[in-house]
């Protein structure tokens, strides 16, 4: 794992953390990709009716638990190895903005783009760290649809609450080598053990 990449991401996150009074724990997960379940599909998934689930693939998911200003940011190592630091940071920022204001998840691309640019300008001001190309590359990126095929397991978003409860993430950066060891069989899909039908993907 390229530690320089995550150090660069953390340097960007420090400014967000200061502004929003947030703390981050980053957990890089090996051999896994993530799936955000559609509301209507949550019940069917845990009844082992996987063929009916709908939602979207993602290599980055973030959650808060009992401590309201602490975000657990889960990153697929597969995605981590295939995007640069700025793209990865923008994905985490997207999740953070939704945490701060859930209505952002419903914005159309053009409105979200304006919101994102305004936020970056406010945080980084005259540093000019993120170009129009960086933002366009992030918004138009289709890697999630491709890279999930390289994973061994697919973890739905609700199962991450279970992971957080079972594991005591003491450090700000954690490498989770074997997520299966902490999940029950119904809490993930083994992509290598079955022919996995591609689900409907939505930009999140």
- Between 7-11, 114-118, 125-129, the lowest mean confidence (pLDDT) is in 125-129
Q: Note the pTM of the prediction, 2 decimals.
A: 0.87
**pLDDT of residue 199 exceeding 80:** no
Distance CA 15, CA 104 (A): 20
Distance CA 91, CA 132 (A): 15
pLDDT tens digits, 39-62: 666 666 666 655 556 678 899 999
Distance CA 195, CA 191 (A): 7
CA distances in angstroms from 12 to 5, 131, 159, listed in the order given:
11, 15, 28
Helix axes 85-100, 3-20, angle to 10 degrees: 30
pLDDT tens digits, 133-166: 999 999 999 899 899 989 999 998 888 988 888 8
Task: List the chain domain ranges.
Answer: 3-187
Distance CA 119, CA 202 (A): 23
CA-based Rg of the chain, rounded to a whole angstrom? 17
What is the mean predicted confidence (pLDDT) over 85-100? 94
The pLDDT, as a whole number, for residue 134 is: 94
């Amino acid at each position: 794992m390229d530690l320089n990449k995550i150090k660069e991401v953390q340097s960007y996150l420090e400014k967000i953390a200061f502004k929003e009074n947030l703390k981050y724990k980053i957990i890089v997960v090996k051999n896994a990709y993530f799936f955000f379940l559609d509301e209507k599909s949550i019940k069917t998934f845990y009844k082992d009716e996987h063929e009916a689930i709908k939602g979207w693939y993602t290599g980055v998911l973030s959650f808060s638990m009992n401590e309201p200003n602490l975000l657990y940011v889960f990153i697929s190592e597969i995605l981590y190895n295939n995007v640069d630091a700025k793209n990865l940071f923008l994905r985490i920022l997207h999740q953070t903005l939704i945490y701060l204001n859930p209505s952002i998840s419903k914005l159309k691309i053009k409105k979200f783009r304006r919101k994102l640019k305004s936020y970056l300008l406010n945080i980084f001001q005259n540093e000019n760290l993120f170009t129009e190309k960086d933002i366009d590359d992030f918004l138009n990126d289709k890697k999630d649809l491709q890279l999930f095929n390289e994973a061994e397991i697919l973890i739905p978003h609700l199962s991450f609450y279970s992971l957080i409860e079972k594991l005591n993430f003491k450090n700000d950066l954690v490498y989770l080598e074997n997520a299966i060891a902490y999940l029950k069989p119904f809490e993930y899909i083994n992509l290598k053990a079955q022919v996995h039908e591609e689900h409907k993907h939505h930009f999140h």
